[in-house]
Amino acid sequence: MSKQTRNRSRSSAEKRRRMRIIRRYRTAVISAFFGVLLIGAVIGLLLPLRPKTSVLEKRELEKWPAFSLQAIWDGTYFSQISTWYADTFPFREKLISADGNVKKLYGLRGDQIVHNSSKTADAIPEDGEMVQAETKTGENAAAESQAETVRETEKAKDPNGNAINVVPEQVGDVYVTGDTAFSLFYFALEGANEYISDIDLIQKKLDGIATVYDILAPSSVGIMLTDQAQEKLGISSQKEAISYAFSNIQKLNSKVKCVNICQNLVDHNSEYIYFRTDHHWTALGAYYAYEEFCKAKGIKPTPISEYETMEFPGFLGTLYSGSGQAASLGDNPDTVIAYIPKATNDMTYIGHDGAEYTWNVVEDVTDWEANSKYNCFIGGDEPFSVIENPNKTDGTACVVVKESYGNAFVPFLVDNYQYTYVVDHRYFAIYSEYGNDFVKLVKDKKIQDVILLNTTNALCDTSLSSTMVGMFEK
């Protein structure tokens, strides 16, 4: 055998050896891939491991759909099963977090928008005149559905086993840049007009009984980002939206005292006035709103330097979950800083079970879960709460009608009134003894000031202001 023949033989043998190695490698990879799929499928079939609620997202997960021939016929039954399977997959939150960490390893940490809604913005009328919105049947139906959903409250427990109530608030589209997230704002003319009319109606119901103050709290995207940055994101100006609402409220009803807090927040936007991982303002941001209320009321605010504080680090809020647990947020959690009222830290509230509880205006939530630390303020979103200032005997009384933004605001009022009442308008008519007779509450408690505090989302969704008006049906 010639040397050339021997070389060709060795070359052929080497190729066959390499091909065997490649085939074995491919077989191993394919086997591993299908093995992972098989393990995932088996885990997915373990019903006891499937979660029913999401702690981070503060919501109930999808339930197995109800069977009907119509759902089978139109295909929605199997679509709902698919949604249930994906939404309740075992260890879903750990898997979402792992996905974020993988992206982090690949350096995928740039600016991003996570779409959690299909909202688009209406133009804000430039001349400030109230413009009639077009009727949008589909959106109205969606709003009614949300109005029903918002009445359902998830139950969670603190480390001592006490029930706390977590509101399933929606944050919409989330914009993440660096270690900070923002909830994007889309103005809706129909929602804004409804809000304007509702505030007018509420004042007329309380005319001669109490003074009505209206506060609209902007979210961080409208205060912390420049107008140019907001325009680039394609979102609405909250400052313009608030101006539209307040100017038209004043035209309808000059007796309403509109408290515009935007400029004071902008003046302090270099400070820690909004959380980076949550859609709420911090207590410091709420304090600057309190300052503006005191100006409108003609009273002196308690200097911020005179409060004792409590700090709760490790807070990861709604924007963290709404962003799909972005690693840049998870690596940089917030710290909740609470200011304790000088007069008292004691309060009582009526819970969603109708029972009365003794609580603290600022509760120690050091050992609570990372997503629950904002609940340190006034026990969270309870239907009706009472705080009595032992240092005052002048009969002064206010009621704050609010959603969750009001929680951090309420503690500052305690030093200014003998009685501070708190109503969460999403639950008051359902769980309180007054039902939908809010005027009777104001009369019974001899309340002089009714403070309406909502976020600018009230200008986007008719269901939010409709829950306030629902308290005035009698």
pLDDT of residue 20: 76
> So what's the pLDDT on residue 373?
96
Angle among Cα 187, 146, 157 to the nearest 5 degrees reads 115
Determine whether 161 is exposed, middle or buried from the number of CB atoms within 10 Å of its CB (0-12, 13-18, 19+): exposed
pLDDT(59) > 70: no
Write the single-letter amino acid at 468: M
Report the domain count for the chain: 3
Judge if 162 and 263 occupy the same domain: yes
Say how far apart CA 426 and CA 402 lie, in whole Å. 8
Q: Are residues 281 and 339 in the same domain?
A: yes
- pTM score of the predicted model: 0.77
Do residues 321 and 465 both lie within one domain?
yes
Distance (Å, whole) CA 254 – CA 86: 52
Do 195 and 106 belong to one domain?
no
SS3 98: helix
User: Are residues 11 and 156 both part of a single domain?
Assistant: no
Question: Is the pLDDT higher at 27 or at 55?
Answer: 27
Q: Are strands 211-217 and 257-259 parallel, antiparallel or unpaired?
A: parallel
Do 100 and 175 fall within a single domain? no
Query: Which tokens belong to 372?
Result: 């629950």
**Average of per-residue pLDDT across 5-9:** 57
**Given a cut of 60, is residue 188 above it in pLDDT?**
yes
Same domain, 355 and 419: yes
Side-chain half-sphere exposure of 134, counting CA atoms within 13 A: 5
CB atoms within 10 A of CB 389: 21
For CA atoms 59, 223, 201, 172, the dihedral sign is negative
Main-chain phi, psi angles of 84, to 5 degrees = -60, -45
Query: What's the maximum distance between 2 C-alpha atoms anywhere in the chain?
Result: 117
Average pLDDT, the chain: 83
More confident site: 225 or 119 = 225
379 plus 459 within the same structural domain? yes
More confident residue, 196 or 147: 196
444 is in which domain, residue-wise? 137-472
Residue 179 reports pLDDT greater than 60: yes
pLDDT band at 4 (very low <50, low <70, confident <90, very high): low
Shared domain check, 334 and 300: yes
In the predicted structure, residue 104 carries a pLDDT above the cut 60: no
CB atoms within 10 A of CB 375: 23
Q: Quick one: pLDDT at residue 115?
A: 67
Instruction: Using the predicted structure, report yes or no on whether residue 416 has a pLDDT greater than 90.
Output: yes
Torsions phi, psi for 356 (to 5 deg):
-100, 140
Q: Are residues 82 and 37 in the same domain?
A: no
